[in-house]
Amino acid sequence: MKKRILALTAVALLLFCTCGCSTMKNDMTTEYNKPHIAVVAKGTQHNYWQAVKKGAEKAAADLDVSLSFEGPDVESKVEEQVKMFESALAKNPVAICLATIDSKSVAKSLETAQKRGIPIVAFDSDAESHAIVATAATDNEAAAALAADKLAEAVESQGSIGMVIHDETSTTGKARRDGFKNRIETKYPNVQIVEIKYATGEHAKPANAAKAILSAHPEIKGLFGSNEDTAVGIMEALEELDKVGKVKVVGFDSGKKQTDYIRNGNLVGAVTQNPYQMGYKAVETAYRAHKGETVQKNIDTGFEWYDKNNIDSTAIRDLLYD
């Protein structure tokens, strides 16, 4: 009798496990129908991130994989991004593409992904973690150095300048700050960076940062904005203070408000990235890593300088995200 009971129990357990496993598998299949890659960006409000999304979606279509794309509405919402990353991880995707606002904030989740064998591809910003199998990004230090050359040229290689940087926690913010600062300090001895301000978010905060710099240093001849918001914020501050044209401005990225300022000659120019290529390469690399293929550790997605003289050229037109 005991043997019969044990045998029936074993069968019941086997049926339970089989049904349970089958149900879990079916749930995942029903939700995705194909291998799923999750993309978690710094934000979604800028045209830049929408261009990244288009590139990611094209890669997903080419590879025949399922894709989700999300990010906070404002790039300063670290905790919200952490929750999005944890949620994506909980759905057990085959890979995740991640652009961190604050790389330290996702450290534990990255370790969890690594232990579970889920490859993580960083894009836009590196996450400074051994869990990252590859990074698809602009060479931000080199791009910012080019911006420094252009601003130095605009101020005739002499005088005081300031910087408004979009944050001091992400690798992009730090790399653009350092790339610009180091180039000025090593190549232009008669140009002095008198102040660096950090301003995350929409144009109002960077505008206030620019006004604070201008108030403290009325002699300033030039300003550098490290992304779309900071460049536009600087221009709005100059408009309010009636200093457009009196202070030279060089920016980064290429949203519509910024390109409008460049077309009318009020902003010297900017460095544009290639967000479409960034999104495409991030997803493509994530899928290849999932398949067990060897992937390139650092993928440079490129950048170009543009101003009113070349903004409508074919080479630049395809890189603008306005």
How many structural domains is the chain composed of?
A: 2
| Rounded Cα distance, 286 and 119, in Å | 7
Residue 64 has pLDDT above 50, yes or no: yes
Q: What is the pLDDT of residues 189-244, one digit of tens each?
A: 999 999 999 998 778 999 999 999 999 999 999 999 999 999 999 999 999 999 99
Q: Assess if residue 28 is contained within a domain.
A: no
Q: What is the mean pLDDT of residues 142-169?
A: 97
- φ, ψ of residue 69 to 5 degrees: the values are -135, 120
pLDDT confidence bin for 171, thresholds 50/70/90: confident
Mean pLDDT of the chain: 90
158 and 104 part of one domain: no
Q: Assess if residue 202 is contained within a domain.
A: yes
147 and 253 part of one domain: yes
pLDDT of residue 31: 58
Q: Assess if residue 296 is contained within a domain.
A: no
Percent of residues, the chain, with pLDDT higher than 70: 90
190 and 162 part of one domain: yes
The domain that holds 195 is classified in CATH as 3.40.50.2300
Q: Assess if residue 79 is contained within a domain.
A: yes
pLDDT of residue 29: 34
CB of 70 within 8 A of CB of 129? no
Give the list of residues 6+ apart from residue 221 with CB closer than 8 angstroms, or none: 155, 159, 160, 161, 247, 248
165 and 208 part of one domain: yes
Residue 170 has pLDDT above 90, yes or no: no
100 and 194 part of one domain: no
Instruction: Count CB-CB contacts under 10 A for residue 176.
Output: 29
252 and 149 part of one domain: yes
| Rounded Cα distance, 206 and 209, in Å | 5
Q: DSSP letters along 111-123, please?
A: HHHHHTT--EEEE
Percent of residues, the chain, with pLDDT higher than 90: 79
254 and 165 part of one domain: yes
pLDDT of residue 129: 87
Q: What is the mean pLDDT of residues 281-291?
A: 98
Report the residue count for the chain: 322
pLDDT of residue 13: 42
CB of 197 within 8 A of CB of 164? yes
149 and 249 part of one domain: yes
pLDDT confidence bin for 75, thresholds 50/70/90: confident
Find the domain containing 182 and state its range: 140-273+308-317
Q: Assess if residue 262 is contained within a domain.
A: yes
Residue 72 has pLDDT above 90, yes or no: yes
170 and 312 part of one domain: yes
pLDDT confidence bin for 76, thresholds 50/70/90: confident
pLDDT of residue 210: 98
What torsion do the CA atoms of 50, 51, 56, 62 make, to the nearest 10 degrees? 130
Q: Assess if residue 12 is contained within a domain.
A: no
Q: Assess if residue 15 is contained within a domain.
A: no
Residue 3 has pLDDT above 50, yes or no: no
Residue 28 has pLDDT above 80, yes or no: no
Q: Assess if residue 8 is contained within a domain.
A: no
pLDDT confidence bin for 14, thresholds 50/70/90: very low
Instruction: Calculate ∠ Cα 209-153-208, nearest 5°.
Output: 5
151 and 166 part of one domain: yes
And the tokens for 205?
């905060």
117 and 195 part of one domain: no
Statement: the pTM of the whole predicted model exceeds 0.85? no
The secondary element (H helix, E strand) that includes residue 304 is strand 303-306
Residue 10 has pLDDT above 80, yes or no: no
193 and 125 part of one domain: no
Residue 9 has pLDDT above 70, yes or no: no
